[in-house]
Structures are given as C-alpha cells and as structure tokens.
C-alpha cells in the first residue's frame, strides 16, 4: 500500500522529486523486468511514463501516478482461501484508459460487456431502426481536465438528442477515447 | 575535463535495495563515478566501502530528457 506522506518526506530528505521516489520504488525491487534487462524501447517507455507521471502529480493525482509508474513492472502472488489453497501470480496493472498497455485491455473488456447487446440488436432487427457507429471528435488542445471531459459528454448527449429528435425508442452507448 | 562534463558527474544518488517486501530502499548518499565515466560498476561501489548486494543508482538531473539513457541503473556487488 502506498504511503504517500512517507514518500513525500523521503523525496524531500533525499533531494529527489516525487516522480523519482515512485520510480525508485519500482526500480529498487526485483520487478518483472529488472533495470539491467531494459532495452532501448523499455527506456523510451520509462521516460514517457515519467513525463505523464509528472503531469498526474502536478494535478494532484499522486496515487494514480504511482500506479502508472509501476504498471506491468511488479507482480503479486495471490493465494485462494480454503483447505487446499492454491497460489497464482498476477501482474500489477494501472488500469488507466490512457495507458498504452492497459488501454487496449480496458477497451476489450468494454467491448465484451456490450457485445451481447449488439448481437441481440443484430438478431432482432426492428423496422425503421439501424445499428450505426458514429465517431465524434473534439479539438485537441494539448490539455484535458475533468471538467472538459464532462463538457464533452454533455455535448455528445446533446448531439445525439438533436440527431434523433422526434424519434421514439432509440438508444446509444459510447465511450471516450483520449489520443495523444 | 571541462566544466560542463564535471557537472554531469555530480550528484549520483545511491540506495541499497530493500531486503524484503516490508522494507524500503536505504539512501546511502551522493557519490561520484571514477574519472571519465558516467556510470558505476560493482567494483566501484565496493571501493566506496559498500558490501555485497543490489543497489539502485540515480544519475544527475543533467541526464534528463534522454529517451535512450535511463537515469536509473542497477548495480550488484557479488558476495566474495
């Protein structure tokens, strides 16, 4: 469990940033891929994750920043309860939708969740209704806040309602994707 | 060695890796690699008086923004 206050104190005493304290936590432990086995690609990813971590910390998202740094670098041994418990290994994932490793898995989960709905609609067509995929895009300003995401979702609802004005019985599902 | 190059050699921070899951890294201080080098070997750390084990080294801030050179380095001192 992350002890943020302790990490902040240690970072100050040791003369490093909080980002570096998070990175130290991963690098100083025997991870899934130790530092001395890093390739150039791993180093590029480490540098990129560090930059994203700086942004998360600057926005007060400290625990999320720590999760992002340790994503796929550490693992856990999980042990089942019961008389004959078996243990198995689980990789530590940040589960953040903008993570290059976790994003595709999150998308696959979301797709799996709604695929029965889509299959049902295909199997039970309704006269006058068709299944359509729409892509709505907003301008990339280089920054994204929680309020801007809420504003975008409100705009999506407004656009769909405007598009389907006067039609009864329609529905829509959507997900937001953030690109770089 | 020029002034700029000397600056790059300043402030290499070294931690001894945690002995167990419950422990944390132990900060040992700032050290300097041997003349003409920008990294440490196990022998260097041994000469600094450190014992066998795994250590994590953080290069100075001057190495930041380099995609192909990690500021972090793992150095081991094998038991004799």
pLDDT tens column, A61-72: 999 999 999 999
CB contact A54 to B (< 8 Å): no
Is the model's pLDDT at A178 over the cut of 90? no
What pTM did the predictor assign? 0.75
Model ipTM over 0.95? no
Report how far residue B77's alpha carbon sits from residue B80's, in angstroms, rounded to the nearest whole number: 9
Give the bridge partners for B73, in sequence order: B57
Q: Kind and range of the H or E element at A175? A: none
Is the model's pLDDT at A180 over the cut of 60? no
Q: What is the pLDDT of residue B46?
A: 95
Q: What is the pLDDT of residue A24?
A: 96
Report how far residue B48's alpha carbon sits from residue B31's, in angstroms, rounded to the nearest whole number: 9
Describe chain A by its helix, strand, coil percentages, rounded to 5.
50, 5, 45
Q: What is the pLDDT of residue B29?
A: 94
> What average pLDDT score do residues A13-40 get?
92
Phi/psi-derived region of residue B27, left when phi > 0, alpha when psi is between -120 and 50, beta in every other case: beta
Q: What is the pLDDT of residue A30?
A: 84
Is the model's pLDDT at A58 over the cut of 60? yes
pLDDT tens column, A75-90: 888 899 989 889 988 9
Domain limits for position B46:
3-77
- Which residues of chain B make contact with A45, given a CB cutoff of 8 A? none
From B18, B76, B28, B80, select the one nearest A35 (Cα to Cα): B76
Q: What is the pLDDT of residue B1?
A: 46
Q: What is the pLDDT of residue B56?
A: 97
Give the bridge partners for B27, in sequence order: B15
Q: What is the pLDDT of residue A132?
A: 86
- Which residues of chain B make contact with A16, given a CB cutoff of 8 A? 13, 58
Q: What is the pLDDT of residue A33?
A: 87
> What average pLDDT score do residues A91-101 get?
91
How many distinct structural domains can be found in chain B? 1
Burial A20-50 (b: 16+ CB within 10 A, else e): bbbbbbbbbbebeeebeebeeeebebbbebb
Q: What is the pLDDT of residue A66?
A: 95
Report how far residue A107's alpha carbon sits from residue A12's, in angstroms, rounded to the nearest whole number: 38
Q: Are residues A44 and B68, on separate chains, in Cβ contact within 8 Å? A: yes
Q: What is the pLDDT of residue A21?
A: 96
> What average pLDDT score do residues B8-14 get?
77
Angle at B70 between CA B74 and CA B58, to 5 degrees: 55
> What average pLDDT score do residues A82-101 get?
90
SS (H, E, C) chain B: CCHHHHHHCCCEEEEECCCCCCCCCEEEEEECCCCCCCCCCHHHHHHCCCCCEEEEEECCHHHCCCCCCCCEEEEEECCC
Q: What is the pLDDT of residue B24?
A: 94
Distances (CA, A) of A31 to A75, A78, A110, A120, A145: 7, 16, 29, 44, 32
Report how far residue A179's alpha carbon sits from residue A144's, in angstroms, rounded to the nearest whole number: 11
Q: What is the pLDDT of residue B10?
A: 62
Q: Kind and range of the H or E element at A177? A: none
pLDDT tens column, B19-67: 998 899 999 999 998 888 888 999 999 999 999 999 999 998 887 766 6
CB contact B41 to A (< 8 Å): no
Is the model's pLDDT at B17 over the cut of 90? yes
Q: Could you give phi then psi for residue B13, rounded to 5 degrees?
A: -90, 140
Q: Which of A10, A29, A66, A76 to mutate to test the interface with B (most CBs of B within 10 A)?
A: A29
Q: Which of B13, B70, B77, B78 to mutate to test the interface with A (most CBs of A within 10 A)?
A: B70
CB contact A45 to B (< 8 Å): no
CB contact B18 to A (< 8 Å): yes
The mean pLDDT of chain A is 90
Q: Scanning every residue of chain B, which has its alpha carbon at the shortest distance from the alpha carbon of A44?
A: B67
Is the model's pLDDT at A162 over the cut of 50? yes
Q: Are residues A28 and B17, on separate chains, in Cβ contact within 8 Å? A: yes
């Amino acid at each position: 469990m992350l002890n943020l206050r302790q990490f902040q104190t240690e970072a100050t005493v040791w003369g490093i940033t909080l980002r570096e304290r998070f990175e130290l936590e991963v690098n100083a432990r025997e991870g899934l891929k130790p530092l001395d086995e890093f390739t150039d690609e791993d180093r590029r990813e480490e540098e990129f994750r560090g930059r994203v971590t700086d942004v998360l910390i600057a926005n007060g998202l400290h625990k999320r920043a720590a999760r992002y740094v340790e994503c796929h670098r550490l693992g856990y041994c999980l042990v089942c309860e019961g008389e004959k418990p078996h243990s198995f290994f689980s990789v530590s994932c940040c589960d953040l939708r903008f993570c290059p490793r976790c994003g595709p898995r999150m998308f696959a989960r979301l797709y799996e969740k709604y695929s029965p709905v889509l299959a049902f609609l295909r199997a039970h067509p309704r006269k006058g209704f068709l299944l359509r995929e729409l892509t709505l895009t907003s301008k990339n300003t280089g920054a994204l806040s929680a309020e801007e995401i809420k504003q975008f979702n409100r705009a999506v609802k407004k656009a769909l309602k405007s598009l389907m004005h006067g039609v009864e019985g329609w529905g829509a599902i959507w997900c937001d994707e953030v690109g770089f | 060695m020029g002034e700029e190059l000397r600056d790059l050699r300043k402030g290499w921070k070294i931690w001894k890796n945690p002995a167990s899951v419950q422990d944390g890294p132990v900060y040992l201080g700032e050290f300097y690699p041997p003349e003409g080098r920008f990294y440490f070997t196990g022998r260097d750390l041994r000469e600094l008086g450190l014992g066998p084990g795994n250590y994590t080294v953080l290069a100075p801030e001057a190495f930041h923004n380099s995609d192909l050179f990690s500021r972090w380095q793992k150095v081991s001192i094998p038991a004799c």
